[in-house]
């Protein structure tokens, strides 16, 4: 189940018990957040690299951010200093987009207690809590990760769900409609997918309240017992929607190949234009 932690709660946890904090700063236009991490981070936070640790590089038709193999993710978790039974807190500075990817991978790999810092680094500093600069190199951990047991959607399963269930595209509305495409070779969306952009789940840097999130998912037909999944540009930011859904007791699966895989696979149909009931937001 998705869990948030406030800055004050994290501060107390840092003072009273062992906790591993991960800095997962990542943006589409600035994927390497290591320089910002060195300038200032939550005390003891280890920098996590999206490109090399939370994904792997594959062929274009595998998508831009395929899920990393268990062995590679476990080696990264050892570098971060995680041991079995640790509480892990993840954060970023952009609507929990990078943090949600780390949360999803770690919880699905068997780590029971992974929380996202509510409001990210901005909320931490706004609360007057200290930051430190420079690199953080903890003692290596020895956590044992399990293979990801939760089924993720293949490209064919995503196509089938878009036709018979609910498949959510969380990219910006203009990318969904096919008006612009800054990265992938074709503009548009998977036929049948609905649009619920990443910004719609947030109130600034914080997740919206439970009632608002429930109502938001309801606008695209997601409710109790509904089979639904989510995709984005490359499989990274889709995890934010999964976290938001779990906050209110709903379930979403991920199509990790996302639009980058779909648009690089010959023969896949492409739709353009608005959804029947479009929800505004921004990536």
- Condensed to tens digits (0 to 9), the pLDDT of residues 176-210 reads 999 999 999 999 999 999 999 999 999 999 999 99
The structure's pTM equals 0.95
- In this predicted structure, what is the pLDDT of residue 283? 32
For the chain, domains (ranges, CATH) are 4-126 (3.40.250.10), 155-263 (3.40.250.10)
Tokens 């995709």, residue located: 231
Tell me the chain's radius of gyration from C-alpha atoms: 18
Cβ within 8 Å of residue 62, ≥6 positions away: 257, 261
Q: Is 114 a catalytic residue?
A: no
Catalytic residue among 46, 187, 222, 232: 232
3-state secondary structure the chain: CCCEECHHHHHHHHHHCCEEEEECCCECCECCCHHHHHHCECCCCEECCHHHHCCCCCCHHHCCCCCCCHHHHHHHHHHCCCCCCCEEEEECCCCCHHHHHHHHHHHHCCCCCEEEECCHHHHHHHCCCCCECCCCCCCCCCCCCCCCCCCCCCHHHHHHHHHHCEEEECCCHHHHCCCCCCCCCCCCECCCCEECCHHHHEECCEECCHHHHHHHHHCCCCCCCCCEEEECCCCCCHHHHHHHHHHCCCCCEECCCHHHHHHCCCCCCCECCCCCCCCCCCC
**pLDDT of 282 higher than 80:** no
* pLDDT 10s digits, 123-159: 999 999 999 999 999 999 999 999 998 889 999 999 9
């Amino acid at each position: 189940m998705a869990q948030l932690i406030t800055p004050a709660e994290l501060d107390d946890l840092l003072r009273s018990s062992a906790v591993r904090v991960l800095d997962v700063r990542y943006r589409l236009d600035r994927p390497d957040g290591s320089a910002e991490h060195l300038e200032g981070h939550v005390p003891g936070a280890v920098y996590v690299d999206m490109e090399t640790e939370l994904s792997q590089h594959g062929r274009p038709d595998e998508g831009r951010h395929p899920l990393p193999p268990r062995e590679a993710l476990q080696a990264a978790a050892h570098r971060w200093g995680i041991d079995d039974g640790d509480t892990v807190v993840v954060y970023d500075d952009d609507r929990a987009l990078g943090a949600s990817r780390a949360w999803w991978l770690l919880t699905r790999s068997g780590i029971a207690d992974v929380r996202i810092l509510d409001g990210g680094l901005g909320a931490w500093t706004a609360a007057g809590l200290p930051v430190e600069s420079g690199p953080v190199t903890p003692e290596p951990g020895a956590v044992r990760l399990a293979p990801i047991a939760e089924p993720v959607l293949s490209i064919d399963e995503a196509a089938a769900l878009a036709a018979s269930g609910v498949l959510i595209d969380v990219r910006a509305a203009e990318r969904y409609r096919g008006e612009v495409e800054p990265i992938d070779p074709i503009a548009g969306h998977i036929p049948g997918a609905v649009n619920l952009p990443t910004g719609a789940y947030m109130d600034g840097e914080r997740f919206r309240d439970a009632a608002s999130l429930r109502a938001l998912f309801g606008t695209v037909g997601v409710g109790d017992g509904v089979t639904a999944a989510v995709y984005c540009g490359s499989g990274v930011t889709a995890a934010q929607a999964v976290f938001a859904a779990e906050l209110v007791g709903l379930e979403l699966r991920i199509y990790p190949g996302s639009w980058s895989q779909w648009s690089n696979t010959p023969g896949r149909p492409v739709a353009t234009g608005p959804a029947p009931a479009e929800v505004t937001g921004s990536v």
